[in-house]
Amino acid sequence: MGTKLTISRGEFLKLSATTGAGLVLGLYLPWKNQLAAQADQTFKPNVWVSIDTSGTVTIVMHRSEFGQKVWTSLPMILAEELEADWSRVQVVQGDLNPVYGGQSTGGSASVRTSYDKLRKAGAAAREMLISAAAQTWNVDRGECRAESGAVIHSPTGRKLGYGELVETAATLPIPEEVPLKDPKDFKIIGKSLKSLDGAAKIDGSVIYGLDFKLPGMLTAAVARCPVFGGTVASYDDSKARTVPGVRHIVPISSGVAVVADDTWSALEGRKALKVTWNEGAHARLSSEDISRTLREAAEKDGRSLRVAGDAEAALAQAETKLEVGYEVPYLDHATMEPMNCTAQVDKSSCEIWVPTQNPAAAHNAAQEITGLPDEAIKVHTLRMGGGFGRRLANDYARDAVEVAQAVTGPVKVLRTRDEDIQHGIYRPASYHHLKGGLDRKGNPLAWIHRASGPANAGFMIGPDSATYGIDLPYTIPNIHTSDITSELPVPAGPWRSVANTQLAFANESFIDELAHAARKDPYEFRRAYIKDHPRLLGVLELAAEKAGWGRRLPKGRYQGIAAHGCFRSYAAIVAEVSVDRRGRVTVHKMVCAVDCGIVINPDGVRSQVEGGITLGLTAALHGAITLEKGRVQQSNFHNYKLLTMRESPVIETYIVPSAQPPTGIGEPPVPPTPPAVTNAIYAATGIRIRRLPIDPKELQKG
């Protein structure tokens, strides 16, 4: 989502002002020459990096950190080219500002889209520091080299630290072209460096959105209609107003806000508030209705996405035919930190402090609500306890801006867990109608996939971008994929890996079904038809090798395999599971191979694989948001269960060495996780799971 934000140069300088002298790099700014010209007098800061006279390197985090460790991996990219002393690097959060380009953090894109620009920013700083040293020593700059936060004059061994060079460097012209390092000389990129904020995350000092506080700040909780689309008919706040600490009762578009001195008072006040709801048109909606709607839609013709050959005609000729449906429910993100936002609004300005993946969305919401000009609205990105796509939406920022408009001073609006789960922006439910045919020899002849999902999810059930989505990596002569949407009132949005979560479950289950129908090994069957996709084949083969595909397993354990590419990266997983007589599934081990191009921080990649697999397993084993009478039935972690340590398998990660440009890793491990598990369950039981979450009743014996 783009921002309409415009900003004056003076405003930029003020916004980004820091104390002390520093090296200025006005890179990527339309006014960069003016900035550079000013630099010798003012030492104004730059966009990505500044160095103070003590030699401390400060790198701006222009994206959001919520567990992907971009707080460390993005600075590593810049520090590599800068030849920085890593122990002298610190990171500061960049507020919403067009100088950084896009700041929405999603699509596993932070490293991919920042790699070139952060390398260039670091290299430009390095070259200026080398020139500054050469000028200081009055020597040929070709005799100087940068190393670990200093410039060294090679013939004499003289050395000047970056801090000693910044004032001179700041007077030099910014180079237009800068040489980049040969990857074979990388010292930082490719190393499993510890997170720069590792200690702060465990001593209580990191300030998450919910921890943010301003002097005189009020706290608010909102009573919301339990039915989607419902509105306030009337409310009685006589009791709520008597609750100690309650200051204001403010009707807003999403409900009625109780504003108080502190959290407890706001929650007690909300309890005492009586609201009568106009539940609206969806007060009878149930999950059965949704399921029926999606199934019926899948019988109609949808929007064709890929047509190769004549799939229906080929299917009619096929020796073996399969026709099945797969179904997945709505899912909540259930970030450990519930949604919250702090805002302060007066007649001429609006300031927002928000744990968001998308500060521009908060800005745009504030503008829409307040009507203030761009430059009167400021958005500060705060740390967040999990994102998974939920914080791309701005619904919770809207709440805060609306409440802040009605009160004086700053106010934080927070959601309780039940509210957070019952008023999410859910991963859409979907139904997938699959038909496939094999020839006499067991070769696949035809593949037909129609994906059916809610209209408000749009692309989130169909052809999700940046690699496979609904598309197939398998070479099949006749393919027809399509999608169709139905109007449903449940809010829907991106959830870690977006449409790939549903589509890979359908595709990777159905290719497994075809393999078994052809009486072939599911791994070998995939390999045979995946040949045109070497990187996917690479991860498939690596996962199979590392997992020992087909080896003798401990009694009762079985393997399943699945592979998928998304966001330009590739992941394959071999799951090892057992199923007991009562149908209970134990996932013992997940072996994952990934190819995400050049790796910045290998341990960071492993950490994301562990995270993606955990989220995928939670979806496979537990996850379902269901509706009854228009209401979400889940309310907390007792009925919207997260995976526990006891249920958590051993996760092994193997990275395909690559010289390809870096791509994302936050999302790609998620999609193959559920089908790897259900394929293993089939191997164990002969029962095909076609509906998530896995229902042990389907697997009970006798």
Partner 1 sequence: MAQISFIINGQRKSLDMDPDVRLLWVIRDSLGLTGTKYSCGMSLCGACTVHVDGDPVRSCVTAVSDVDGREVTTIEGLAEQNHPIHQAWIEEEVSQCGYCQPGQIMTAAALLAKNPKPSDKDIDQTMSRALCRCGTYQRIRRAIHRAAGEV
Torsion of CA 339, 344, 346, 351, to 10 degrees: -90
CB 482 within 8 A of CB 470: no
CB burial readout 161-190, b (16+ within 10 A) else e = bbbbbbbbbbebebbeebeebeeeebebbb
> What is the Cα–Cα distance from 597 to 481, expressed in whole angstroms?
29
Nearer CB in complex with partner 1: 68/254 = 68
* Among 20, 155, 198, 534, contact with partner 1 (rule: CB under 8 A): 198
Nearer CB in complex with partner 1: 45/623 = 623
Interface positions, 382-401, toward partner 1 (CB under 8 A): 383-388
The minimum distance between CB 637 and partner 1, in angstroms, equals 4
* Among 211, 289, 310, 521, contact with partner 1 (rule: CB under 8 A): 211
* Among 40, 116, 140, 262, contact with partner 1 (rule: CB under 8 A): 262
Instruction: Considering only the stretches 64-72, 108-116, 462-470, 563-571, report the one whose residues sit in contact with partner 1 under the rule CB under 8 A.
Output: 64-72
Strand partners, 594: 571, 655
Torsion of CA 512, 518, 519, 520, to 10 degrees: -60
The two three-digit tokens of residue 601, written as one number = 């921080």
* Among 439, 521, 610, 698, contact with partner 1 (rule: CB under 8 A): 610
The minimum distance between CB 308 and partner 1, in angstroms, equals 37
The minimum distance between CB 74 and partner 1, in angstroms, equals 16
- Draw the binding track, 474-513, toward partner 1 (x: CB under 8 A; -: no contact): ----------------------------------------
* Among 436, 560, 611, 630, contact with partner 1 (rule: CB under 8 A): 611
* Among 7, 207, 308, 455, contact with partner 1 (rule: CB under 8 A): 207
What separation in angstroms does the CA of 209 have from each of 90, 232, 387, 533? 21, 28, 12, 42
The minimum distance between CB 250 and partner 1, in angstroms, equals 20
CB burial readout 614-623, b (16+ within 10 A) else e = bbbbbbbbbb
271 binds partner 1 (CB under 8 A): no
> What is the Cα–Cα distance from 470 to 449, expressed in whole angstroms?
8
702 binds partner 1 (CB under 8 A): no
The minimum distance between CB 386 and partner 1, in angstroms, equals 5
Q: Identify the CA nearest to 211 among candidates 414, 389, 366, 72.
A: 414
The two three-digit tokens of residue 253, written as one number = 């578009």
Strand partners, 57: 51, 89
| SS3 readout for 502-537 | HHHHHHHHHHHHHHHHCCCCHHHHHHHHCCCCHHHH
CB 250 within 8 A of CB 256: yes
413 binds partner 1 (CB under 8 A): no
Nearer CB in complex with partner 1: 171/263 = 263
Interface positions, 616-675, toward partner 1 (CB under 8 A): 618, 636-638, 642-648, 650-651
Instruction: Considering only the stretches 2-10, 209-217, 483-491, 532-540, report the one whose residues sit in contact with partner 1 under the rule CB under 8 A.
Output: 209-217
263 binds partner 1 (CB under 8 A): yes
Nearer CB in complex with partner 1: 187/417 = 417
* Among 22, 67, 107, 410, contact with partner 1 (rule: CB under 8 A): 67
The minimum distance between CB 206 and partner 1, in angstroms, equals 6
Number of chain residues interacting with partner 1 (CB under 8 A): 60
> What is the Cα–Cα distance from 337 to 455, expressed in whole angstroms?
29
194 binds partner 1 (CB under 8 A): yes
First to last CA, the chain: 53
The minimum distance between CB 201 and partner 1, in angstroms, equals 3
Q: Identify the CA nearest to 487 among candidates 289, 307, 337.
A: 289
The two three-digit tokens of residue 618, written as one number = 């939670």
Q: Identify the CA nearest to 263 among candidates 390, 423, 411, 403.
A: 411
* Among 275, 294, 334, 377, contact with partner 1 (rule: CB under 8 A): 334
- Draw the binding track, 447-476, toward partner 1 (x: CB under 8 A; -: no contact): ------------------------------
Q: Count CB atoms within 10 A of the CB of residue 418.
A: 15
* Among 44, 62, 63, 69, contact with partner 1 (rule: CB under 8 A): 69
CB 463 within 8 A of CB 471: yes
| Binding-site ranges for partner 1 (CB under 8 A) | 66-69, 192, 194-195, 197-199, 201-208, 210-211, 213, 219, 244, 262-264, 334-338, 383-388, 416-417, 603, 607, 610-615, 618, 636-638, 642-648, 650-651
